[in-house]
Amino acid sequence: MNGAAPTDDRTPVAEADVCIVGAGPAGSLVADRLASAGHRVVVLDAGLRFDPSERIRRQERAIRPYYDRPDVWDGDPERDAYSATGEWFYPLNHARVKGIGGSTLHWQGMVMRLHEADFNSGSERGAGPDWPIEYADLRPYYADAEAELGVSGADIPFGPPREEPHPMPAFPPSYSDSLFAAACDELGIAMHPVPNARNSESYDGRSECVGYGTCQPVCPSGAKYDGTVHAESAEAQGARVIDRARVTELEHGPNQVEAAVYVTPDGDEHRQEADAFVLAAGGVEIPRLLLLSESDHYPDGLANSSGLVGRYFMDHLFAGAGGRLDEPTRQNHVGFLTSESHQFYDDADEEFAPFKLEFFNYAGPSPVEMALSGDDWGDELLGRLREGYGNHVAVGALVEQLPREDSYIGLDPDRTDDLGNPVPDVHWNVGDRALRTIERVNDIQHGILETLGAEIEWTVGPEETGPAYHHMGTTRMSADPSEGVVDATLRTHDLDNCWIASSSVFPTGGAMNPTLTIAALALKAADSIEASL
């Protein structure tokens, strides 16, 4: 197949080998890998194909207080309607992007490997299940994923073993990192670089980071990786990527998916047939699609003989504290993290969860945010900026939430989207282990800030915590078909031509940002799919 420029043709691809649902990093990586092997690949995504030339305009929108975060990437409240009925409210649309590139269009870009014990949490920590794979099984795919995404980093003293250096050198510590380092040295807390999927030097035809500082939610330069890199590479190798193709059902027999049914903006319904199918639409939309695809063969939802599709929904929980120093900190000059600490990570056990500390470079408002949020002008505005900007500090953390069967993605029986389909119901429950850990994290964070001499002004503790918007666990991996939805190759237990590439397959979440593991698993799944074709 020859690569072709994107068109408005949204009709099905004839004689497709592989149909992929979702053009985020996982779906795009699988598409690129299989297209490069000569397979006829089609990718269907519910969202838009965003014009790269508009990123500056989106950046300008992002820094204006009038716009909420979903507005930046054209969120659609009718298309993206949802319910949240759990013990904890889940603001799903706050950090959801539907479009070619997926959530990597607005992600922060941190890419850590899970630790070895994360794969054996049950046996090593006495908490949660073990994965059906070991770190060693994923280790070569981690290296492959780092090369594909382009990762700037350095050795993490507490991290798992590596086979080679990161593709690019780590970003140097920020000025505020040097302030934190003095306090951490006094407390015996080790700081180290953050692996970032952004270019510290030119890489793979993309520029080095030029310091816009608006990484969340817009990187105008393209130095931060997003899924469009591999979506476009897949297209150059002959894959077809169709935007605004909303898959509403997977037609199937008892053992195989036969077609993905999708609706286009003109209201037409199409059927995309293929030999193999890959679900890569994330930890909410994948279980929703499977549940919407119920049939006589699968009355409780497709691939759901275990009854666990949608169950064990997890996220990472945030813990943080911040305040002010009586000196400039240069906060908000850098839009991403350059230092963190995994020192306490492997102390996790049955009572306390793993967590990692994050030293913020963007505490407090930026000068632009301050200028646009007031109604003063001239000398009065300048005085307010001088008084209120530049002396903020903050320490954050991500904390693991254990899987719970009563934390799940279901279908709302009463509410539908603009196509008349039941919306996802996010029923999010958080366990005591995570909340105890947040208290412990806050104590460490307060100790750092007090040693630094900061006046602590705010704390996000167990009662104020919220999600990091990492949707995990809803189609989890298992060796026993009764205990999960996919096997160790990411193929569904029930269907021999359907794979899932997503953090939805994580049996446990650890406390590391999930995208590098998603990418590694996607490349592992691509090998499995390739072998089956």
The residues annotated as belonging to the active site are 470
Question: Counting beta carbons within 10 angstroms of the beta carbon of residue 177, is it exposed (0 to 12), middle (13 to 18) or buried (19 or more)?
Answer: buried
DSSP for 53-71, please give it. GGHHHHHHHHTSTTS-HHH
Collect all residues with Cβ–Cβ distance below 8 Å to 523 and sequence separation of at least 6: 29, 30, 33, 141, 144, 145, 148
Q: Are 406 and 310 in contact (CB under 8 A)?
A: no
Q: Which helix (H) or strand (E) holds 158?
A: none
- The residues with which 277 forms a beta bridge, in sequence order, are 19, 498
371: amino acid identity, one letter: A
Alpha-carbon distances of 77 from 94, 98, 265, 267, 283, rounded to whole Å:
11, 12, 16, 18, 19
CA distance 282 to 515: 11
Sole residue written with tokens 């690129």: 32
Smallest CA-to-CA distance from 440 within 334, 338, 511 is with: 511
Residue 393 near residue 324 (C-beta atoms within 8 A): yes
What is d(CA 190, CA 252) in angstroms, rounded to the nearest whole number? 53
Answer yes or no: are the C-beta atoms of 408 and 315 closer than 8 Å. Answer: no
Strands 422-427 and 83-84: parallel
Angle between helices 25-36 and 515-532 (to 10 degrees): 30
Alpha carbons 527 and 467: distance in angstroms, whole number: 32
Strand partners, 21: 44, 279
Nearest CA to 308 out of 194, 419, 404, 241 is that of: 404
How far is Cα 215 from Cα 397, in angstroms, rounded to an integer? Answer: 19
**Cα–Cα nearest to 226, from 47, 366, 64:** 47
